[in-house]
Amino acid sequence: MSSLEDQLKNLGFKASENHDHEAGEAAASPLDTSQPVRIQRQTKGRKGKGVTVLFDLPDSPELLAEYASALRKTCGVGGAVKDGTIELQGDQRDKAKKWLEQRGFKAKFAGG
């Protein structure tokens, strides 16, 4: 295996035996951004500390980890991926919404 194939495998791409045009199309398929991402601020059960939680993101652990890392850097805060959601420390709703909309997602605030 070449080093490029190893690198792609480490990034989550699968190597296929069939190297025709269809295999390349499947790997380059765009994300489903039609479903709006809900952004909510929560404090309940967190000892009064507020967090921003992003729901309804694409269900891919690698993608969630990548998005969480980028959002943490953009907002300058800590955070984590938990149960298919991204949690950011503090009230980061506006920054998160702007970041998501720049990537083609529809984002809306949820909750009170």
pTM confidence score: 0.69
Query: In the chain, where does the domain assigned CATH 3.30.780.10 lie?
Result: 31-109
- Label residue 16 by pLDDT band (50, 70, 90): low
Strand, helix or coil at 3?
helix
- Specify the pLDDT at position 112: 64
Domain spanning 31-109, CATH class: alpha beta
For the stretch 45-80, pLDDT in tens is 888 889 999 999 988 899 999 999 999 999 999 999
Q: Does the pLDDT at position 24 exceed 80?
A: no
The residue to which tokens 């045009």 are assigned: 21
Residues ≥6 apart with Cβ < 8 Å to 80: 68, 86, 87
Does 14 or 9 have the greater pLDDT score?
Answer: 9
CA–CA gap between residue 33 and residue 103 (Å, rounded):
9
Q: Does the pLDDT at position 21 exceed 90?
A: no
In this structure, are residues 51 and 91 in contact, taking their beta carbons and an 8 Å threshold?
A: no
